[in-house]
Structure 1
Amino acid sequence: MQEKIKKNNSKVKLKNEENKTYERNKKNKKSYNLKVNNVAEVSRNKENSQVEEREDIVIGRNAVIEALKGEGTIETLYISNGNLEGSIKTIVGLAKEKRVIIREVDRRKLDSMCNGEVHQGVIAKITPYKYSQVSDILELAEKRGESPFIVILDEVEDPHNLGSIIRTAELFGVHGIIIPKRRSASVTSTVYKSSVGAVEHVKIAKVTNLNAIIEELKESGIWVYGADIRAEEYSYQVDFSGPCALIIGNEGRGISKLTVQKCDKLIKIPMVGKINSLNASVAGGIMMYEVLKGRLK
């Protein structure tokens, strides 16, 4: 009997030891996973902080061609070794006409310059983009004998959206784009590429106080429209033939509350689908088309 009790006690003791070991391993595993996750998070944050958008390079063949055709200063043209086929020949020809320094480099050099973005074998090092003044935009409209058509971007932060909006603006006859200095994408290599070089043909003003500029535009006789889903009037119902400024809001938040109050009128795009919002660049494109269509009548 005593031997049986002893045996049972041994089993209980062994079971307790197994439970302790299990709990200890579980705790250690949890601690290890937490540590690994923290290291991974730190690594991601570090990587994100190191990858900054450069404003002194243009990447991609079409963007570089437009940069060479434009008035900006190109300091050096970098092309991949032996990559002289297709449009690269055009790029080299334009660079020679402008007496731009051409350097053939290893493809890995190009990769490192643009943080691994697709460069198509060519990168142009430029003098950082020179922003215009709002007065330059108004002068351009006057020079063309047209009513001012301005696009105002209220904290559009995605450089791809900014690039797409610039490209559309150039096609639809916008005289200039106004962006805020804070919480907004700037003209970088990604914007150059996304705009397919249209950056070289559109005046862009970067301002400190967006709402103060809106007030100045209104005082000069420009009607300010805000693209907002809460509007009661549709874009196709509006007469855009006079001087106008069109405000496109942030990708997630839309137009800020204070800026909405500055608008003369809010307008919206008709939609019948289940998703009630559009990408900022798509919405901007539809609105800009409406303005152009109204002016062609």
Structure 2
Amino acid sequence: MPGNSQRRNARTTSKKGASGGSGGKGRDTLKGRGKTLPADERPWHKGYSGTEKLPSKTAWKQDKERKAAAAEGRAPKIGKPGSKDTTWGKGGTGKGAPVKRTASRTPVSRGPKVAPGRRSATPKDAPELLVGRNPVVEALRAHVPATAIYVALGIDIDERVSEAVRTAGDRGIPLLEVSRAELDRLTGGVLHQGIGIQVPPFAYEPFEDLLNAALEQPTAPLLVALDGVTDPRNLGAVIRSAAAFGAHGVFVPERRASGITATAWRTSAGAAARVPVSQVTNLTRSLKQAQQEGFTVVGLDADGETDLYNLEAAVGPLVIVVGSEGRGLSRLVGATCDLRVSIPMASTVESLNASVAAAVTLAEVARRRAE
């Protein structure tokens, strides 16, 4: 015989024999799934009209998600198709009676690793965890719409912890008792002082709606744009100044800039609930769109050719652009501005903080309009 077929245990047949059948047990797997439903009849599709009866399997999954969300003290991940599941930015707060749970009985939802004043590395639509006794108390005082409060087991109770727990109970925010190790994992090892609150992602206003709402105001429209401001505390302070001096909205770029985090909300002292905030894909394009609607775009620049106290355009439709903390206005944004405005200062001071510069400019615009 050819080859090494004389060796022990050699195969003597060239083909494998027929495999055994399933006896009809796998017959259902060969059936088709039927026709493909149109988009308006698929409950999981953004084009779903919402009028058709839900399939039993989909209804069961949604009911299961609602029960799981209630047990974990969070908002359910279902709702109107195509919309974000959030009430933050619209003044919403958690509902329901406070529930006290332990980590051994109820699995704790995995929150992002975020500390006060730091950017999150998690997706932008994920919940955020604000930690620390003072930050938590201040955030609750500012009515940040928390969805849960985490308290480590065995911590020393002081007046700040007592106030936070009492405020959460009064507002129906679920109370979750977790181990110190679990809270360390949720915060990424950041000093948390045994307490933290979870907040939902912020609901931004579409830029077109922000622009139209400003144009419909009885007074001259006033908007504030931030060009690359990365510190959420600066963003929160600008929003607070915008609310104080009558601005009709704030818009920021999506990339390389701070969004509305729990820190920004706390710094704004609740003003983010009253001033609409928009995130735009391209700041330069958005500024040009505002110019087409009749706005004068003014960029704050230490070397600007126009003095703030001589800004005649302050009484008309205006967009104030504030540059980043370090480099100021970017090249394209600076070239798009109709005017570059400088703030008169003593020669001993190089420049102002971004939020301070915005506050000074907004105050001067408000003074001119009052006259």
| TM-score exceeds 0.5 | yes
- Secondary structure in 2 aligned to 1:128? coil
Q: 1:65 aligns with which of 141, 151, 154?
A: 141
Residues 227/191 of structure 1: CA separation in 2 closer, same or farther (3 Å cut): same
Number of residue pairs the alignment of both structures matches: 242
Alignment partner, residue 223 of structure 1: 296
Q: 1:85 aligns with which of 142, 149, 159?
A: 159
Alignment partner, residue 357 of structure 2: 283
Alignment partner, residue 184 of structure 1: 257
The separation in 2 between residues aligned to 1:118 and 1:285, in whole angstroms, is 32
State whether residues 224 and 263 of structure 1, in contact with CA within 8 Å, keep that contact through their aligned partners in structure 2. Answer: yes
The separation in 2 between residues aligned to 1:123 and 1:147, in whole angstroms, is 42
Alignment partner, residue 286 of structure 2: 213
1:167 paired to 2:243: no
The separation in 1 between residues aligned to 2:227 and 2:250, in whole angstroms, is 11
State whether residues 83 and 121 of structure 1, in contact with CA within 8 Å, keep that contact through their aligned partners in structure 2. Answer: no
Residues 130/275 of structure 1: CA separation in 2 closer, same or farther (3 Å cut): same
State whether residues 64 and 123 of structure 1, in contact with CA within 8 Å, keep that contact through their aligned partners in structure 2. Answer: no
The separation in 2 between residues aligned to 1:110 and 1:273, in whole angstroms, is 49
Deviation at 1:242, TM superposition (A): 1.9
How high is the TM-score relative to the length of structure 1? 0.70
The separation in 1 between residues aligned to 2:368 and 2:203, in whole angstroms, is 32
Cα shift readout 1:36-90 (whole Å, capped 9, x = no counterpart): xxxxxxxxxxxxxxx852762345222223234xxx5x3212346564736953x
Alignment partner, residue 315 of structure 2: 241
Alignment partner, residue 348 of structure 2: 274
The separation in 1 between residues aligned to 2:245 and 2:298, in whole angstroms, is 17
Deviation at 1:95, TM superposition (A): 3.5
Alignment partner, residue 148 of structure 2: 76
Question: What are structure 1's unaligned runs of at least 5 residues?
Answer: 1-50
Deviation at 1:257, TM superposition (A): 1.8
Q: Percent identity?
A: 33
State whether residues 211 and 290 of structure 2, in contact with CA within 8 Å, keep that contact through their aligned partners in structure 1. Answer: no
| Larger relative helix fraction | 1
State whether residues 64 and 197 of structure 1, in contact with CA within 8 Å, keep that contact through their aligned partners in structure 2. Answer: no
Q: Which has the higher contact order (CA 8 A, sep 6+)?
A: 1
State whether residues 161 and 195 of structure 2, in contact with CA within 8 Å, keep that contact through their aligned partners in structure 1. Answer: no
1:127 paired to 2:203: no
The separation in 1 between residues aligned to 2:365 and 2:161, in whole angstroms, is 35
The separation in 2 between residues aligned to 1:67 and 1:229, in whole angstroms, is 36
- Secondary structure in 2 aligned to 1:67? coil
Residues 144/52 of structure 1: CA separation in 2 closer, same or farther (3 Å cut): closer
Cα shift readout 1:141-188 (whole Å, capped 9, x = no counterpart): 356533221111111122232222222222222221111111112222
Alignment partner, residue 228 of structure 2: 155
Residues 140/124 of structure 1: CA separation in 2 closer, same or farther (3 Å cut): farther
The separation in 1 between residues aligned to 2:214 and 2:158, in whole angstroms, is 41
Residues 235/182 of structure 1: CA separation in 2 closer, same or farther (3 Å cut): same
Deviation at 1:238, TM superposition (A): 1.4
Deviation at 1:132, TM superposition (A): 1.3
Q: 1:261 aligns with which of 313, 319, 335?
A: 335
The separation in 1 between residues aligned to 2:170 and 2:216, in whole angstroms, is 30
Alignment partner, residue 39 of structure 1: none
1:137 paired to 2:210: yes
The separation in 1 between residues aligned to 2:183 and 2:141, in whole angstroms, is 17
Question: What are structure 2's unaligned runs of at least 5 residues?
Answer: 1-117
State whether residues 76 and 103 of structure 1, in contact with CA within 8 Å, keep that contact through their aligned partners in structure 2. Answer: yes
Residues 207/126 of structure 1: CA separation in 2 closer, same or farther (3 Å cut): same
